[in-house]
Amino acid sequence: MNIPRLVVFVGLVAVAASCAFVRSEAESAGAREALKRHLAADADSYALVTIEDLPGGGRATKGARFERTLAKSDGPVTRTQIAVCTRDATSWRCDGPMDGVRIAFRGSVQRLVVPVDLEDAAIVAIVDFVGSACFDRQVTGTLRGRQISAIERHGNGYFVGMGDRAGIDILTLETTADPGSKCAFEIRQIRPLN
């Protein structure tokens, strides 16, 4: 996945990832029908995770997130595929599927967009880093959200999409060069998406 793909999907996923809340049977049915139009027979293998109101300003008013489990592991990372649907005043439209993971870590479950070739150990290390004091010391300025939406390898480092309905930031992380450092990564850049 290149940065433009990350940018496109991180906003959609962040909007539909903050909590598992389903509004009504009618909304669920509408989102499910749109997914069937988009994915045909494959739509039946996806579970509805959430439907939420989208923040104002755009045409879309609702966001729905669907997930299909691909492979479970003995560790905290479960490989998934994700589809996201949005509704405007008249109809639902879906995007995806995209590769993802569901990670159970430190008492919470996070759903992230990640390429299929990103190793479980790297995903766990990045999620651990974002929840660490090392991360807090390195963050300059204010992040618009502390929830990871997507991770993508970039050369010797990673792009990490973070945020929520308030906005998205893309962090560039590199593995710490100093073997004596207690921090696994260094934040090289934080770019807001508008």
For residue 2, what pLDDT is reported?
A: 47
For residue 16, what pLDDT is reported?
A: 44
- Alpha-carbon distances, residue 46 vs 2, 42, 65, 68, 122 (angstroms): 25, 8, 10, 5, 26
Domains in the chain, number: 1
d(CA 41, CA 66): 14
d(CA 161, CA 151): 6
Instruction: Please list, residue by residue across 32-54, b when 16 or more beta carbons sit within 10 angstroms of its beta carbon and e when fewer do.
Output: bebbeebbeeebeebebbbbbeb
Q: Which two tokens stand for residue 142?
A: 């204010």
d(CA 80, CA 85): 16
Give residue 178's domain range.
3-193
For residue 8, what pLDDT is reported?
A: 47
d(CA 41, CA 54): 28
The pLDDT tens digits along the chain (194 residues) read 444 455 445 555 554 444 444 556 777 888 999 999 999 989 999 999 888 877 665 566 788 889 999 977 788 999 999 999 988 878 899 988 999 999 987 788 888 899 999 999 999 999 999 988 899 888 877 776 778 888 999 888 999 988 766 678 888 999 987 777 888 899 998 888 76
d(CA 59, CA 79): 32
d(CA 176, CA 53): 39
